[in-house]
């Protein structure tokens, strides 16, 4: 069983994919963490603007690397969005994601992958495809509250600007732009709580099983 969950930042795809993984006993991969991990490692080098370093780091990435502190920081997210636009990095990490989908770890019966191009590029033949979205203002408010809950300083206007900029970068990039697959179920979570989103996703999946 393979479920693809795509969408922009702070739309709710992470929460949904975790619940789906638990419900169906599937392995879960937050593909955004892959790029965040590479970004964090790149920022720790002496030449963070060097694309060759990013490509090399991506080539040696492992699942254990994803268990690293600080990956959710806003600076890492911004850097990850830029690094994800490097074609060679995307090509390298594409194999990483497809291997996870094809060979779920820990004896799981399938996988849930959430990201921005799972249903269109990474796993275009996934049985179930969901595209989770919400207005930029709603997503900015969610990210603001998330950062507050984690004890981080945050400015609403700056978060909103970052989300708008990231959406634009992700949508216009030439490689794997952010857009729903033609056969994806689109869920706008702007006015929905997590339970409602989960139930809608389950209904969609049950109709296709």
Q: What integer best gives the mean pLDDT of the chain?
A: 93
Q: Are 201 and 187 in contact (CB under 8 A)?
A: yes
Which CATH architecture fits 2-202? Answer: 3-Layer(aba) Sandwich (3.40)
The Cα–Cα gap between 90 and 98 comes to 12
Domain ranges in the chain are 2-202
pTM of the entire predicted model: 0.90
Confidence (pLDDT) at 203: 96
Strand partners, 131: 6, 186
Provide mean pLDDT across the span 104-118. Answer: 95
Structure tokens that stand for 102 in this block: 């094809």
Contacts of 155 (CB under 8 A, 6+ apart): none
- Residue 209: pLDDT band by 50, 70, 90 thresholds? confident
**Of 139, 128, 131, residue with least CA distance to 191:** 139
Tokens of 43: 């920022």
Q: Give the pLDDT band (50/70/90) at residue 74.
A: confident
């Amino acid at each position: 069983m393979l479920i693809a969950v795509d969408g922009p930042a702070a739309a709710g795809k992470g929460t949904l994919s975790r619940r789906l993984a638990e419900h169906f006993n599937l392995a879960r991969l937050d593909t955004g963490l892959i790029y965040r991990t590479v970004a964090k490692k790149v920022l720790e080098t002496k030449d963070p603007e060097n694309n060759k370093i990013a490509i090399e780091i991506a080539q040696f990435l492992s699942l254990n690397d994803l268990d690293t502190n600080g990956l959710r920081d806003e600076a890492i997210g911004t850097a990850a969005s830029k690094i994800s636009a490097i074609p060679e990095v995307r090509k390298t990490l594409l194999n990483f994601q497809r291997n996870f989908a094809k060979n779920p770890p820990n004896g799981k019966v399938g996988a849930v992958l959430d990201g921005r191009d799972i249903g269109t590029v990474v796993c275009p033949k996934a049985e179930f495809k969901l595209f989770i979205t919400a207005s930029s203002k709603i997503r900015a408010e969610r990210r603001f509250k998330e950062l507050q809950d984690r004890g981080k300083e945050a400015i609403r206007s700056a978060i909103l600007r970052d989300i708008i900029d990231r959406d634009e970068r992700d949508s216009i990039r030439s490689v794997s732009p952010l857009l729903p697959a033609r056969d994806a179920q689109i869920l706008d979570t702007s006015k929905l709580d997590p339970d409602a989103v989960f139930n809608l996703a389950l209904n969609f999946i049950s109709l296709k099983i």
